[in-house]
Structure 1
Amino acid sequence: MTTEPMQAVRDFILARNPKLDQLPDDLDLIDSRAINSLAFVEFIFLLEELTGESIDPEDLDLDDFRTLSAVNARFFMKEAA
């Protein structure tokens, strides 16, 4: 999972978590606090920018943001489905 948009997602998370050496695709980003409540809004804006689509807060499911695999499936693989 090294597409350009996913690399931007990885870079965003790693930039805010200097203690993380690596970012496994199955790491729970919420429970590990890799994406905390303060960064979550910025993360949503990043995803909107990368996908070119707005994300309706009423339609949010935290499971879509839990892992890099989930983010990729929800926001970047839907065109292939």
Structure 2
Amino acid sequence: MTPTLDTFVQALKEQLAAPKADLEHNIRAVLAEMVEKMDLVSKQELERQKIALEQANQRMNALQQQIESLQNQIKK
């Protein structure tokens, strides 16, 4: 390419870069807002809730066994 054409192409690239960056920024903002509205939770929060549920189930099973044991004692 000639120096004039190279300069023109470079200037054109620079002019296109700014709207591209603005568009990317705006798209990211819109996507972030959409995700926030979807009320999603993080993978870490999901794992914490899963562990809490497992612990609650274990405790419930232990209490159920205690109830059954007490009921058996009362029947005797």
The answer to whether TM tops 0.5 is no
Give the TM-score range, shorter chain.
Answer: under 0.3
Could you say which structure has the higher helix fraction?
2
Q: Given the two structures, how large is their TM-score scaled by the length of structure 1?
A: 0.23
Rg (Cα) greater in structure:
2
